[in-house]
Amino acid sequence: MATDNTISNLLTISEASRILGIAERTIQRFMGGKKISYHKMGRSVRFSKAGIEEFLKKTRIKSEA
């Protein structure tokens, strides 16, 4: 059974920044503030696609309309 955290579903900071449309430095700030979940393997940092989607849901501001 494959989970979302398989190697093929993990993103680098560069890939995550392109998907989110924000700078890599901004993602690093979110990591430091524990606003976005990530996996750390030695010096490497990876983000799961599910974690990116969760982050987007948490930061969504609903309209009143």
Question: Pick the residue with more confidence: 6 or 18?
Answer: 18
**42 found inside a domain:** yes
Q: In terms of residue numbers, what domain contains 28?
A: 7-58
CATH number at residue 17: 1.10.10
For residue 62, the one-letter residue type is K
Distance between CA atoms of residues 31 and 64, nearest Å: 30
Cβ pair 24, 10 in contact under 8 A: no
**48 found inside a domain:** yes
Pairing of strands 39-41, 44-48: antiparallel
For residue range 19-56, what is the model confidence (pLDDT) as tens digits? 999 999 999 999 999 999 999 999 999 999 999 999 99
**25 found inside a domain:** yes
Instruction: Indicate the pLDDT class of residue 1, thresholds 50, 70 and 90.
Output: very low
Q: Which residues contact 42 (CB under 8 A, 6 or more apart)?
A: none
Question: Pick the residue with more confidence: 19 or 6?
Answer: 19
The residue among 22, 9, 7 whose CA lies nearest residue 35 is 22
**23 found inside a domain:** yes
Instruction: Indicate the pLDDT class of residue 8, thresholds 50, 70 and 90.
Output: confident
